[in-house]
A and B are shown apart, each in its own frame.
Chain A
Amino acid sequence: MSDELKIVVLIKQVPDTSSVAGVNPDGTVDRARAKRMINPFDKFALQKALELRAEHGGVIIAISMGPPPAIEVLFDAIEHGADKGFLLSDKRLAASDTLATAYALFKCIEYIKDVDIVFTGLQTTDGDTAQTGPQIAERLNYPQITYCEDLIVENGKVKASRIIDGGVQKLEAPMPILVTVANSATRLEHKQFANVYRSKELLRDEQAKKERIQLLDLDKINADPKKVGLVGSPTVVGKTWKIGEKGGSCRLFKGAAVSKEVETLVDCLSTEGRGIEEYVR
């Protein structure tokens, strides 16, 4: 029993990149209109948590910070097999940058107490900074392993391999620890029908739902409102602008023999003597 782990996974709800999101006049994403999804990077973190729990037992607690609809990603995590969810939602958190976000999430983890491992994704698809995870580790005063691809827990220690330039670094660290999981790690497994069914059954019971999914605000986690939101965020967005739009100008070269198609392709790439020809002819 002693090696059972208390695992926290941080997940974020982001605008669905497969749908066309609206852009506000000031260049920020219109989140209210955008379809929402779980940050794809966080799925690798959740999978690592599920693997670790399967090996050692314990609980998986998913934490998300965001407006009330972000509760959807907690349902999602529970349908994937997480045990509990916490949603930190507070108007005062609006417009938090990574410094402020990391502070708020750090207070959440402190509130939850006695955590063995915190998993996060590498970064988010909306902010793309990859700063929040490491900042939380610093605030918690935990060791951190970033870009982690693989890990095991042995004798109360984490043995991990992380991606570095040109290879893989193997390292060992004590717990509690924060790990940001690389997107080359194991993909999140599909939801299982029976799991989804059971979580629906469970969440139907209001009491059980309250136990499984808890709402937090700044007061509850004893966080300083001055350190979050716009006032707590030193980052200033100078300007955002549209640099282009994805569009289809895809052409498949097929039908004829491959050698012939390659020639057609090269012809298409022609830049009238200014580039590619000298390399391919």
Chain B
Amino acid sequence: MSECIKYDVVLVGAGPANLTLAYRLLQLAKKPIKIAIFEKGKAVGSHLLSGAVSNPRVISKLFPNWMNSDFPLQGIVQESNLSLVSARRWENLPSFATPPYFKKEGYAILNLSDLATYMVRQIKELEQGKDGAIVDVFPGFAATSIIYDGNRVIGVRVDDTGDDESDICYGNVISFGDKGFLSREIVTKFNLSNNPQIYSVGVKEVWETNESYEGKVWHTIGYPMEPGHFGGGFIYGCKNNKLAIGMVLSCAFQNPNIEPPQILQELKKHHYVQDMIRGGKLIKYGAAILPEGGYYSMPEKFAVDGAILLGDACGTLDVKRFSGVDKAMESGYQAAESVLKALEDGDFSGTALGLFQENLMNGWVGQEIRNSRYFRQAFVDYPELNKKVIPGIIDSINAGKAPWYAVMKMGIKDPFGSLELLNAKKMIENPSDKGPVVYEEDRLSVSKGFKKAEKESPVGFDHSLLYSTADVVFYANTHYEEDNNHIDELDANVCANCIKEYDAAGYKTPCVGDCTADVHQTLDNGDYRYHSMALENCVQCRTCEIVCPNSNLRVNAAMHGYGPDFSGM
């Protein structure tokens, strides 16, 4: 063990949570501290993707001068729209009718990959000015498995030369800020949650447009969402005539073939979006998952012996407020004190490391996540909301009527149902305690008997602004070499049977139908159809693992920096 490589703190993933932790540790540390940052992307930020419109509350805490520095700001929201969208119409709701959590004026428009690059630069600067502080960043080195000593996390494997001494990085504290690639193992092994995490998948395109929309943002409800499908669209105007267009789609939906990139194309067919992107060009494409279970999907403990969970690994995202980045950063901010104290005392037990949990949950993160705790469940308990109410409103808009016309009509036709809806509204807006909710795993929602609803499509759109999934993946700039093999198919027979069942039902299997990058395919070998993967396309969103009905796929962190290049996303 004398030769082994060891740091005080090892960060798994260079995302906003872990980078905040690193920055904060350097700010607070009074003694020498040695930090390693592992990032599976070929560069810091190359696997980071988010909307992102974010409350800058943690950014301004970390970098008080951020507004007047080289901080990579894409814009400040001047005009925040909640838009009701039908195939023919696009209604931006007046401010009085917009719920407060949809009002984003004054928020920062960010691209997460640039934010991470900036933060690493700041961290390195802080390191320079601090005696005994060491921060080593290892881009292109993915932590691929966790090393335990009994029940204590002591390190991560980051290379595969076959020699443990060279392949393992040990740490007193391992901080997981990943989207589950590794941290799901901690949650399972230590039995930290009896409620599964549920996910949405987000797809996003960045366009360069003729006009500038800087500071304008839209969040959409309605078209092109299927009735009953939880999710919506977003359009964020960034500087330099860039426009981010995206859809966020729940993985908990009956339809086995969501085809996320194609739903995004549907949104782009709308004349309102067409007008913005006509004459422009597509710059980038990407996809990522969002843990949206919220309060009740969070682990009971945010720390175990030797390790902590931050950001998406901890499930701090607040789906009601679309607030992920700031809460992830705050988790890192709060964790710094516990980690430092643990280092000072030499006590790396889960109890010592987990002291920050209380601060985090008593602060604004906890308050907001608690306030949102039934938001997602309201759409499960009152499926009518998504199946009838919203589609009803959208239909009346499509017919040229005011949104409240539909609400009134429903009230007259079904007064009792409307009262029920008031309960749903209460769950969303002002929840009183009704005990914990238990989610069903996303994959269990998928139904072979799903019937797609007939829906109206926009007409007169410009085809050249739309992309097939195979085409759009080109803009994710993925790079893999032949030694890559980052998705495990656990049992080929399970896949063959699944394909048989879905073929009979007239659907593609969920892995094929929900893939954001045309990775999964079913091929015929003459005797039967089997599952195959074009891994060179993969943008590492992990959707296939989540929707696989048989939990037969496992997406691991790809090594050697393989994967997409989301820089600028």
Contacts and interface: CB of A to CB of B under 8 A. Distances in A.
Interface string A183-203: 000000011111011001000
Contact of B477 (A18, A190, A194, A252): A18
Interface in B532-569: 559-560, 565, 567
A18 B471 contact: no
Nearest to B3: A194
A113 interface: no
B477 A192 contact: no
Interface in A224-281: 248-252, 254
A190 B560 contact: yes
B167 A250 contact: no
B471 A251 contact: yes
Would you call the interface of chain A mostly helix, strand, loop, or mixed? loop
B221 to A, nearest CB: 30
Given A18-B565, A19-B567, A196 B471 contact: no
A237 B134 CA distance: 47
Contacts of B102: none
Interface residues of A, number: 19
Nearest to B483: A190
B159 A194 contact: yes
Contact of A196 (B138, B167, B521): B138
B164 to A, nearest CB: 11
A224 to B, nearest CB: 38
B468 A197 contact: no
A201 to B, nearest CB: 9
B518 interface: yes
Given A19-B567, A204-B134, A248-B472, A194 B5 contact: yes
A28 to B, nearest CB: 22
A270 B82 CA distance: 47
Interface in B473-487: 474-475, 477, 479
Contact of B166 (A19, A194, A252): A194
A196 B139 CA distance: 11
Contact of B167 (A35, A193, A200): A193
A193 B467 contact: no
B507 to A, nearest CB: 13
Contacts of B391: none
A192 B521 contact: no
Given A18-B479, A197-B5, A197-B136, A192 B470 contact: no
A248 B471 contact: yes
A60 B31 CA distance: 38
B470 A251 contact: yes
Contacts of A35: 567
B379 interface: no
B111 to A, nearest CB: 15
A165 to B, nearest CB: 28
Interface of B: 5, 134, 136, 138, 140-141, 158-159, 161, 165-167, 169, 282-283, 467-468, 470-472, 474-475, 477, 479, 518, 521, 559-560, 565, 567
8 contacts: A193-B5, A193-B138, A193-B167, A196-B138, A248-B282, A248-B472, A248-B475, A250-B474
Given A248-B474, A252-B470, 12 more contacts: A18-B477, A20-B283, A190-B559, A192-B166, A193-B138, A193-B158, A194-B159, A194-B165, A197-B5, A248-B472, A249-B471, A250-B468
